């Protein structure tokens, strides 16, 4: 068989994999009153009319292309889930119409986030968002191309509005689901069709930056009883058990991936765990530490109280950018002594994703733990 014939045969095989998803009630799981199904002017439509998951039955897709027309009617969030195992493990792309509809340059008009152990980690991953040209109450064409660890999202365009170099969820396949109010039509699956997108994880822009504090020890998580904010009784003692934890992409120490949400509800709860690392200095000096955190921190250096702060989305205390984790959140000056310095950080969780990222301004006479 010639090369041309092989390509033609491959294209025919790929075309045969196109699956039109039936927009009929019997094909979806949902609670009463959440979804309605009807015949629209261009075919069947699924109307998600109330908050709640609408999950496609008997489907499992990993790599491939997913396309649909979406008319978001929700003011806040119109969400599409893929790699859906359940409400605890999945990944989600969503419109934020209140801030992004009709505003193609709004930085948070569309977003991607993983759901890990019941927690949507959007506040840990500020970089997975962008603007897109879409409207409320109008039909918008959405296409997601998923290949291994990477994804490209197209909204009303031949060019991707959002490129995700690393899908951050714990799952690589699953079914589909919707939430928030929107009208869905022309839902099509194309398993295996990835437009040549590499399945390998894309470059981590911080990979070669040696200033990040990547190697830590971590304690178990402990509940914080309301209305206590912090107590010295929460401090780790001699009997505390420590385990190693290494930062993920962009220097993120992802405590949500380790501990998730409440085991019963899957939602975030108010808890504290402790992180510690060492920093070597060749002489006594001051060092600037850029710190991103969610949601609360209590810091000690060589046993002395150093810094405390909160980063609460939607509150006046929210740090730039908009209460989400970023090295822009704060800068802490470390008064290092000559030799080894122990940095101890209590990290409190109270709202969605939980973790820190830390980077020294420079390594002049300073070396983080390796």
The DSSP symbol for 361 reads S
Question: In this structure, are residues 142 and 154 in contact, taking their beta carbons and an 8 Å threshold?
Answer: yes
199 within some domain:
no
Together in a domain, 334 and 220: yes
202 within some domain:
no
Q: For 301-307, which contacts have Cβ atoms below 8 Å and span 24 or more sequence positions?
A: 301/334, 301/335, 301/336, 301/341, 301/342, 301/343, 301/344, 302/337, 302/341, 302/342, 303/342, 303/344, 306/332, 306/334, 307/332
Together in a domain, 154 and 31: yes
Alpha-carbon distance of 65 to 281, in angstroms, equals 51
Together in a domain, 184 and 233: no
Question: In this structure, are residues 111 and 93 in contact, taking their beta carbons and an 8 Å threshold?
Answer: yes
65 within some domain:
yes
Alpha carbon separation from 188 to 68, 159, 231 (Å, rounded): 6, 19, 54
Alpha-carbon distance of 19 to 42, in angstroms, equals 18
pTM above 0.85, yes or no: yes
Helix or strand run (H / E) with residue 323: none
Together in a domain, 172 and 235: no
Together in a domain, 57 and 120: yes
Alpha-carbon distance of 101 to 215, in angstroms, equals 41
Alpha-carbon distance of 276 to 344, in angstroms, equals 4
CATH code (residue 134): 2.60.120.560
User: pLDDT tens digits, the chain, 370 residues: what are they?
Assistant: 443 444 444 444 554 589 999 999 999 999 999 999 999 888 999 999 999 999 999 999 999 999 999 999 988 999 999 999 999 999 999 999 999 999 999 999 999 999 999 999 999 999 999 999 999 989 999 999 999 999 999 999 999 999 999 999 999 999 999 999 999 999 999 999 999 999 999 999 999 999 999 999 999 999 887 767 888 888 999 999 999 999 999 999 999 999 987 655 555 678 999 999 999 999 999 999 999 999 999 999 999 999 999 998 888 889 999 999 999 999 999 999 999 999 999 999 988 999 999 999 999 999 999 9
Together in a domain, 185 and 255: no
Number of structural domains in the chain: 2
CATH code (residue 224): 2.60.40
* Domain range enclosing 88: 3-191
Residues in Cβ contact with 175 at an 8 Å cutoff, skipping those fewer than 6 apart: 55, 56, 57, 58, 59, 60, 61, 84
Together in a domain, 15 and 158: yes
Alpha-carbon distance of 96 to 229, in angstroms, equals 32
What is the CB-side half-sphere exposure of residue 260 using CA atoms within 13 A?
15
Together in a domain, 311 and 177: no
Last residue of a domain, one of 140, 175, 191: 191
Together in a domain, 227 and 186: no
Which residues lie across from 278 on neighbouring strands? Answer: 342
200 within some domain:
no
């Amino acid at each position: 068989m010639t090369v041309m014939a092989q390509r033609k045969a491959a294209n025919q095989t790929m075309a045969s994999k196109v699956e039109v998803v039936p927009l009929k009630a019997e094909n979806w799981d949902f609670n009463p009153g959440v979804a309605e199904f009807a015949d629209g002017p261009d075919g069947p439509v699924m109307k998600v009319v109330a908050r709640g998951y609408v999950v496609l039955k008997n489907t499992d897709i990993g790599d491939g292309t997913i396309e649909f027309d979406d008319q978001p009617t929700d003011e806040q969030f119109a969400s599409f889930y893929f790699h859906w195992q359940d409400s605890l493990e999945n990944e989600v792309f969503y419109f934020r119409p209140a801030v992004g509809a009709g505003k193609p340059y709004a930085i948070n008009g569309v977003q991607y986030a993983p759901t890990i152990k019941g927690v949507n980690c959007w506040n840990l991953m500020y970089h997975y968002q962008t603007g897109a040209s879409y409207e409320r109450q109008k039909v918008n064409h959405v296409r997601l191309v998923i290949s291994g660890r990477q994804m490209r999202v197209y909204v009303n365009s031949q060019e991707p509005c959002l490129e995700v170099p690393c899908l951050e969820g714990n799952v690589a396949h699953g079914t589909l689901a919707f939430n928030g109010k929107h009208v869905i039509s022309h839902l099509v699956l194309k398993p295996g069709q990835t437009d040549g997108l590499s399945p390998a994880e894309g470059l981590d822009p911080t990979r070669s930056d040696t200033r990040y504090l990547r190697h830590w020890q971590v304690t178990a998580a402990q509940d914080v009883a309301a209305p206590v904010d912090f107590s010295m009784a929460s401090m780790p003692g001699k009997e505390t058990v420590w385990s190693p934890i290494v930062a993920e992409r962009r220097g993120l120490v992802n405590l949500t991936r380790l501990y998730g949400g409440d085991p019963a509800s899957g939602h975030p709860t108010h808890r504290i765990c402790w992180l510690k690392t060492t920093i070597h200095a060749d002489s006594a000096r001051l060092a600037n530490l850029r710190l991103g955190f969610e949601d609360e921190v209590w810091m000690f250096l060589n046993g002395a109280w150093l810094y405390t702060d909160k980063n609460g989305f939607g509150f006046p205390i929210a740090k730039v950018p908009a209460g989400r984790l970023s090295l822009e959140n704060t800068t802490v000056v470390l008064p290092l002594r000559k030799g080894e310095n122990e940095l101890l950080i209590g990290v409190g969780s109270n709202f969605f994703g939980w973790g820190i990222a830390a980077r020294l301004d420079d390594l002049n006479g300073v070396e983080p733990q390796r």
